[in-house]
A and B are shown apart, each in its own frame.
Chain A
C-alpha cells in the first residue's frame, strides 16, 4: 500500500516534552512540512525561545540557535545581515515576544528584517508555571493574577499582530490558530506564505498562532479548545492583518 502520510524529514524522532493537548507539536509539524516542501532544510536556521519551546531544537533536523528571553529577533537580525542566504525563523511565545522581547520584535519588524517569526500566543506563561502574560485575557485567572486579570491595574491584552501591522514598513502579518483541522490547513498555508516571502527577500513575515495551554489554564484539552473559541478568538481574530503589496 502506498504511504499517504509520513513524518516530515525536518522533524526529528525525539519524544515530545509538551503537555497533552498543547498545540506546540502541531505548529512544529507545520513548520517542518513547510521546510520540506520548500526544500530549504539545508539552509534553514531556527531560533528557540525561552519558554515551553526552549527545547525546540530537539525536534527539528536543521541548524538551531537558542536565544535569551525575548532576544530572538535581534539574533535573527544578526544572522540575516551576515548570511542573507540562510532561511531564519524565530519561534517565540507570548511572554518572550510580547513582554520582555517587545523592543526587539518591534524594531526588527520596523527595519523590515527578512526573517520569519512564529508567535505562539496561549495567553499565559507556560514554562514558568502559568503566570500572567501581556496577552492574558481580562479576568483570566493565572498564578500571578489569582483574582483574574484586572485591566484597571495592568491594561488590556496586547494584540501583537495589529500592533506590528501599524508600522509603516511593509510586512506580512497574519493571525491563525490550530485548534481544529480547518484552522490547521489555513495556518499551514500562512506559515508557508511567510517562509516564501522570506525566500523572495520581500519583507518581514509574522505568523501569530493562537494556541492552547490546558495545563496552565486548568482545563482538559477539549475544554481548552472550547475556551479558545469562546474567549480568545473573538479578541484575537483570525486572518491576515497586513500583506505586502
Chain B
C-alpha cells in the first residue's frame, strides 16, 4: 500500500482496525481525542464497535468485559485518564486479559499540561495500579513506528494474555507523517475457548469459564503471581526491542533516550559527529522489558566516559539506566518536563560537558 500522510492519533486508530481489532471504548482527553473522533466515523465503515464511555474508570471495565468475552479490544487515553484506568488495568492483569492501551502522555502531576511529556514512565513500567503486575510497554519514536507497534500489540497481548501499553508523548499523537500499514502485521485473533466467557454454546463446552482476579486461598494467589512472573520473565527473554545508533565505533558519551526525545538526540549525535565528537545512543523501543543488557554493554566500552538518560521527565528512566550500568560509569540525567522539548543544541551542550 502507498504511503499516506496521517496525524499520529488517526494513524493509531487506523492501525488497530488494520490489525484486526474492531472494538474501541474511550473517553475524550487532550492530546489524544482525535483517535476517538476518527474512530467514531471509521468504526461505522468497518462494522465495528465505538463507544464513548462515561469515564476512564468505566472504559477500563468495558475493555475488561469485552476482552473477557474473547474479543480484541483497545482504548486510547492520556495521563490523567490512564491514572483512572489503572484500577481496571490491575484487574485485567490479574485476570490475564489481552487488551491494548495507548497512552499519549501529557505533562503532570495532576492536570499538568497538554504538551508532550514522558512523565508516565514509572506509571507504565512499574505498575500504575495495585498489586504485583507488569505491562508490556512499547514506545514509538515516529508515527510509522506507532502504527507498527499498535499492529504488533494485539498478537503480543494474546501471546502473553496480558495488557500491552503503547506509550507515546503528545507529539507522536499530534504530528503528521507519512505512514503505511504493513500487511505482514495483520494478524488473526488466537482461539480463546479455553478461558474466555464467550458463552458455552460458542465453544461447544459443557463446563463454564470464569474470568476473575479474586483468589482467597493464599497458595492459589501465590501460584497466580508466580505464573504472572513467569510471563514477565519470558517477556524479558523474548520481547526486548531497542535501536543502537552510532555505537559501532568508539564514542565518548552514551545517550539513552526514547520516543520524540530520541529524535532530537539523534540530530545532536549527528551534529556532534560532524565536529568530531562521537556519541553513541541506545533507544529503547520496549520500556518493559527494558534493554538492560544492551545498555550495560554499550556503557562498558573503554572510550565511553559517561552515560546520560535524556527524557521528558524529571528523571524516571534514568533509574533503569543506573540499574543497567551498575555503577561502572557515571550516569547523568537531562530533560525538561513542562511540555517544551530540548533543542539539539541544548542536548549537544550537555553532552559535550560529559566527554
Contacts and interface: CB of A to CB of B under 8 A. Distances in A.
Are A and B physically bound partners? yes
A83 B198 CA distance: 8
A60 B49 contact: no
Q: Taking each of A41, A44, A48, A66, which has the highest tally of chain B beta carbons within 10 Å of its own beta carbon?
A: A66
A36 interface: no
Interface of B: 23, 25, 49, 51, 53-55, 57-69, 71, 73, 87-88, 91, 95, 197-202, 207-214
Given A42-B199, A63-B200, A103-B54, A75 B65 contact: yes
A104 B71 contact: no
A41 B208 CA distance: 10
B56 to A, nearest CB: 11
Contacts of A45: 69, 197, 199
10 smallest beta-carbon distances between A and B, as pairs: A78-B65, A66-B212, A42-B201, A75-B65, A78-B62, A74-B61, A63-B197, A78-B66, A107-B54, A74-B58
A150 interface: no
A86 B73 CA distance: 17
Interface in A3-53: 41-45, 47-48
A55 B217 CA distance: 13
Contact of B91 (A43, A68, A82): A68
Q: Taking each of A60, A62, A65, A67, which has the highest tally of chain B beta carbons within 10 Å of its own beta carbon?
A: A65
A47 B199 CA distance: 13
Nearest to B49: A81
Measured as residues with beta carbon below 8 angstroms from the partner, the interface class of chain A is 35 or more
Interface string A64-108: 111110011011111101110110000000000000000110010
Contact of B63 (A48, A78, A85, A86): A78
19 contacts: A41-B200, A43-B199, A44-B199, A57-B212, A61-B208, A62-B200, A63-B208, A65-B64, A65-B68, A66-B210, A66-B213, A71-B58, A74-B61, A74-B64, A78-B25, A78-B66, A86-B69, A103-B58, A104-B54
Given A42-B200, A64-B208, A104-B54, A74 B65 contact: yes
A54 interface: yes
Contact of B68 (A68, A77, A79, A107): A79
Nearest to A85: B199
A144 B55 CA distance: 29
A68 B85 CA distance: 12
A77 B62 CA distance: 6
B62 A75 contact: yes
B210 A82 contact: no
Contact of B62 (A62, A74, A83): A74
Contacts of B60: 74
A87 to B, nearest CB: 8
B62 A65 contact: no
Given A60-B208, A74-B57, A79-B69, 14 more contacts: A65-B212, A66-B214, A67-B61, A68-B91, A74-B53, A74-B64, A74-B65, A77-B51, A78-B63, A79-B65, A79-B68, A81-B49, A82-B69, A82-B71
B87 A68 contact: yes
Contact of A77 (B65, B67, B212): B65
Nearest to B72: A82
A63 B57 contact: no
A68 B88 contact: yes
Nearest to A69: B87
B58 A82 contact: no
B64 A75 contact: yes
A43 B202 contact: yes
A66 B188 CA distance: 27
B69 A83 contact: yes
B29 to A, nearest CB: 17
Q: Taking each of B54, B199, B209, which has the highest tally of chain A beta carbons within 10 Å of its own beta carbon?
A: B199
Nearest to B71: A82
Nearest to A87: B199
A103 B59 CA distance: 12
A76 B53 CA distance: 13
Contact of B199 (A61, A78, A86): A86
A74 B208 CA distance: 22
Contacts of A57: 208, 210, 212
Nearest to A41: B200
Contact of A78 (B64, B87, B201): B64
A131 B58 CA distance: 25
Nearest to A45: B197
Contacts of A42: 199-201
Nearest to A83: B69
Given A42-B200, A57-B212, A82-B71, A104 B66 contact: no
Nearest to A104: B58
Nearest to B63: A78
Contacts of A44: 199
A42 B205 CA distance: 8
B73 A82 contact: yes
A103 B55 CA distance: 9
